[in-house]
Structure 1
């Protein structure tokens, strides 16, 4: 059976909390990630990590959309 260690944080006056460093490392929580909060009917709070870091499209290959800009398009098609 897995061991479960609890950690506590304090809620600030403005409602902010700090996620303990050990938990951030264990769950790979980084800057730009989001937390999804849910409370069930019994009042139990669950938090889910939603990884949403910058650069999420770094794996995509670029698509050549051409070098035409608005000025070039006007020259190419003429002004009416």
Structure 2
């Protein structure tokens, strides 16, 4: 994939990590918490799909009091509506 100014390159670290260039992160609206889905086709070409998962992952869960804290009473402190 290329940005408007040309192709971007990054180096793979010894731990297998890469950095997504800032211009691509901005262009594709990639932020912390998003996931990337990596796919290799039969020709060996790699593609990456951005899966936006920043917030709302646990919106369907209700707070449960496990006995150590009053989770229901503290729910509002963590941004729940």
TM class by smaller structure: 0.5 to 0.7
Deviation at residue 54 of structure 1 after TM alignment: 2.1
Larger strand percent: 2
**Larger Rg, first or second structure (1 or 2):** 1
Q: Secondary structure at the match of 1:23?
A: helix
Q: How many residues align?
A: 59
Instruction: Flag structure 2 segments of 5+ consecutive residues without an equivalent.
Output: 66-81
Alignment root-mean-square deviation, CA: 2.4
Residue 33 of structure 2 is matched in structure 1 by 32
Q: Secondary structure at the match of 1:11?
A: coil
Deviation at residue 56 of structure 1 after TM alignment: 5.5
Residue 75 of structure 1 is matched in structure 2 by none
Deviation at residue 55 of structure 1 after TM alignment: 3.7
Deviation at residue 41 of structure 1 after TM alignment: 0.3
Q: Where do 1:57-68 residues align within 5 Å?
A: none
Q: Deviating runs (4+, > 6 A) in structure 1?
A: none
TM-score (norm 1): 0.63
TM-score (norm 2): 0.63
Q: Secondary structure at the match of 2:23?
A: helix
